[in-house]
């Protein structure tokens, strides 16, 4: 049985071997009521900033659960490329599923995007509640899948806002389009190294951005705006994928192209160089 893992963001300042911390209410409920853990059971806790601590449950009383922190393990299970998804908002169950699976496949962030042809409309307090819900889902998925960093769910944005929010350097921007001009293999093997040069001091972290449209596709105006912001149109093949499937298919393909599906026995990798050492040959 895998060791249960719990996210403890509030514990960062004092999180160290020998420290005693109280699990957040949601984590305590899951540990005591769902997993039925008891005093003395081993767990792992992580802050979301990288690495994790071994710990042991103790002093579980009522709804509260405390843990005694032991050794720190600087394991980095993060993928080799930071992938940020700008996902057109879909129905609640589809969006929930997409975010959960995006965490499992190692996405760095998800930005919910409202587009002209979106069926779902979010604004004000309703949008804030949905973002908080999605962030909680991301935390739970990180606990389950072993990531020590938590996917960030950004506030709901328009296409124009999402396209303008990206850093100017070290970012490959791709808009998924069935009629796209490039394949994913082309982007990783040819375009990525030219946008993200190796060994440049002070350069921001390299990132790949995937902009995903709604069921009816982007409008002509939105497509033109994204192209003007530097987005390449990217095809995922001859079949049309559902909007909640498209980003996940691209994520899985990226992981395969950069050899991120290696056995655990090979050990945790370190973040690879920005160019992925000429990651793959074009096919």
Q: What is the pLDDT along the chain (283 residues), one digit of tens a residue?
A: 689 999 988 655 557 788 888 888 889 999 999 999 999 999 999 988 888 999 999 877 788 888 999 999 888 788 878 899 999 998 888 999 999 999 999 999 999 999 888 777 777 888 899 999 999 999 999 999 999 999 999 999 999 999 987 766 678 899 998 888 888 888 877 777 766 655 555 555 678 899 999 888 889 999 999 999 989 999 898 888 999 999 999 999 988 887 677 776 544 444 433 333 333 333 3
In a domain, 93, yes or no: yes
104 and 220 fall within a common domain:
yes
Q: Tell me: do 122 and 217 sit in the same domain.
A: yes
Structural domain tally of the chain? Answer: 2
Same domain, yes or no: 67 and 111: no
User: Is residue 111 included in any domain, yes or no?
Assistant: yes
Claim to verify: residue 102 and residue 49 sit in the same structural domain = no
- What CATH number does the domain containing 9 carry? 2.40.240.20
CATH number for 232? 3.40.1280.10
Of 55, 73, 91, the residue at which a domain comes to its end is: 73
Among 73, 97, 120, the domain boundary falls at 73
pLDDT of residue 277: 39
Is the same domain home to 102 and 231? yes
Residues 132 and 248 reside in one and the same domain: yes
Claim to verify: residue 93 and residue 209 sit in the same structural domain: yes
Backbone angles phi, psi at 57, to 5 degrees: -65, 140
Question: What pLDDT is stored for residue 195 in this prediction?
Answer: 63
Residue 114 lies in a domain: yes
Per-residue model confidence (pLDDT) at position 269: 44
Let me know if residue 276 belongs to a domain: no
pLDDT value at position 198? 57
pLDDT of residue 267: 45
Same domain assignment for residues 96 and 47: no
**What pLDDT does 271 receive?**
43
**pTM to 2 decimals?**
0.84
Give the domain range for residue 54.
5-73
112 and 153 housed in the same domain: yes
Check whether residue 86 and residue 69 sit in a common domain. no
């Amino acid at each position: 049985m895998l060791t249960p893992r719990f996210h403890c963001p509030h514990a960062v300042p004092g999180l160290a071997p020998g420290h005693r911390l109280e699990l957040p209410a949601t984590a305590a409920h899951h540990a005591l009521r769902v997993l039925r853990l008891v005093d003395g059971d081993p767990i792992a806790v992580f802050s979301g900033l990288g690495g994790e601590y071994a710990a042991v449950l103790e002093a579980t009383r009522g709804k509260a659960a405390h843990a005694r922190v032991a050794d720190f393990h600087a394991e980095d299970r993060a993928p080799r490329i930071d992938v940020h998804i700008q996902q057109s908002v879909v129905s609640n169950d589809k969006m929930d599923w997409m975010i959960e699976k995006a965490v499992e496949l190692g996405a760095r962030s998800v930005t919910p995007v409202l587009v002209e042809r979106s069926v779902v409309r979010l604004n004000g307090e309703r949008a804030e509640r949905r973002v908080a819900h999605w962030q909680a889902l991301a935390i739970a998925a990180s606990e389950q899948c072993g990531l020590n960093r938590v996917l960030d769910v950004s506030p709901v944005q328009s296409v124009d806002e999402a396209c303008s929010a990206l850093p100017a350097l070290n970012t490959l921007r791709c808009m998924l389009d069935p009629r796209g001009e490039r394949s994913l293999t082309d982007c990783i093997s040819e375009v990525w190294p030219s946008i993200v040069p190796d060994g440049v001091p002070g350069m921001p972290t390299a990132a790949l951005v995937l902009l995903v449209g709604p069921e009816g596709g982007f409008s002509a105006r939105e497509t033109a705006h994204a192209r003007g912001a530097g987005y390449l149109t990217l095809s995922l093949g001859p079949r049309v994928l559902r909007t909640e499937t498209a980003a996940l298919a691209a994520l899985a393909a990226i992981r395969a192209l950069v050899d991120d599906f290696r056995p655990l026995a090979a050990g945790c990798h370190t973040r690879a160089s920005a160019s992925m050492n000429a990651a793959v040959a074009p096919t």
